[in-house]
Amino acid sequence: MLQLTSITKSYFQKIAVDDVSLTLNEGEIFGLLGPNGAGKTTLIRVINRIIEPEKGEIRYNGEIMKAKHLAEIGYLPEERGLYKTMTVYDHAVFLGRLRGMSKEEVNRSLNSWLEKFEITSWKNKRIEELSKGMAQKVQFICAVLHEPSLLILDEPFSGFDPVNVELIQNELKSMKKAGKTIMLSSHNMKSVEEICDRAALIHQSKKILEGSVLQLREDRKDGRYAVKFKGNMLAFTHALWTGFELLDKEEVSKDRFVAYVAMRGENNFQDLLKTLIGQIEIEAAWEVLPSMQQIFIETVTGKSI
């Protein structure tokens, strides 16, 4: 759906985005990750044609991206604001009409979103009357009013409480189901793991990783397994044969533990389970994949954690 090829942008001799190429497939949620100052926001601004790249090409559905395509894109910037003295309705009308909607279309779409979020009473409130969280919901609604095919969200969860994070996540999943493509930039790695199909990591202006979230985690697994059991830790340790190594443990409750184990020699997960069955009461066991947060930190800092 969206193809970025060799995008380069610099500000007064400082390179902000260096030769970045990306592909977003239709109907996927794509995570754009990277530390502060990596160049994510610049890249998003380039996609939205807010700034022009010095080099590179952007294609939208196979066509060179032009101003007309912006009507199909929804954008929620990281640094977002609203006109404090305007009402929610006036705001939506103004931003919707800038995106090419008629007043009636805006009204219809706004009503539907306000009903969905159960906030219909806010329609004629001035922005200054709303709390920060309420205003952020309005900002999200304004970004999706025109039912864009591609939604670009820069830090969409920042400032939201967990309930609203969940609400926004669910909306994004619904939009994905409806065939929309979503690109989100976030520092909330848990959310990225939960909702993103694919992700790319930008560091020091360059893209250093790209792939499906699951694949990125699979590629970096280190043979760790976790076993959640009921019993005592001493029995667990005794049960482990020399073919396994206890790496770490967490006490969940008085007689419940999660133990992290690595294999030695030719041993595998099956052997581990066979060894433990009968010695302790196993409640769950799984292969431990590195979290996106772990991958992020290790890739950016170059140190393993």
Partner 1 sequence: MNVSWLVAQRELKERIKTRSFIGMAIAGPLLVLLLLYILFSVGENNKPHWNVLIVDPAGIMDNKILANTTGSISYDFANDYIQLKDFEKSKRFQKYDALLELNEKILSNKAAFLFYKEKPSFLFATSIQFHLERRLEEVMVGRFSKMTVQEFRGIKQPVSVAFRNLYDPKNESYSLSGWVGFFFGGVILLFILLFGMTILRSVSSEKSNRIVEVLLASVKPRQLMFGKIAGIGIAAVIQFVIWTALIWLGLSILRESLFPDMMNLQNWNIGEMTEKATSGMEEGMFRSKVYNDFVELVYSRIQFGDMLVFFLLFFIGGYIFYGTFFAALGATSGSENDGQQFVLPIMALLLIALWAGYYAMQNPLSQLTYILSFLPFTSPMVCMVKLAQGYSLGEGYQIYVSFTILALSSYATLRIAGRLYQNGILQFGHRLRLTQFVTWLKNG
Binding footprint of partner 1 on the chain (CB under 8 A): 12, 45, 48-51, 70, 73, 75-77, 79-86, 94-95, 97-99, 139, 142-143
CB of 79 to partner 1, least distance (A): 4
Closest Cα to residue 228, out of 142, 298, 288?
288
**C-alpha span between 295 and 305 (Å, rounded):** 9
What span, in angstroms and rounded, lies between the C-alpha atoms of 88 and 128? 10
Classify residue 10 by its DSSP letter. Answer: E
- Between 138 and 192, CB nearer to partner 1: 138
What sign does the dihedral 300-50-195-22 (CA atoms) show?
A: negative
- Under 8 Å between Cβ of 225 and 288: yes
Q: Check if the beta carbon of residue 205 is closer than 8 Å to that of residue 15.
A: yes
Minimum CB separation of residue 132 from partner 1 in Å reads 13
> Least distance from C-beta 181 to partner 1, angstroms?
16
Place of tokens 């995008």: 7
Task: Report, in Å, the least distance between residue 260 CB and partner 1.
Answer: 44
- Residues sharing a CB contact under 8 Å with residue 60, sequence separation 6 or more, in sequence order: 1, 2, 69, 72, 150
* Conformational region of residue 118, where left means phi above 0, alpha means psi within -120 to 50, and beta covers everything else: left
Taking Cα atoms as reference points, which of 214, 290, 288 lies closest to residue 28? 214
Contact 75, 88 (CB under 8 A): no
**Which residue from 287, 295, 293, 285 is spatially nearest to 220, judged by alpha carbons?**
295
Q: What are phi and psi of 300, to 5 degrees?
A: -75, -40
CB of 292 to partner 1, least distance (A): 27
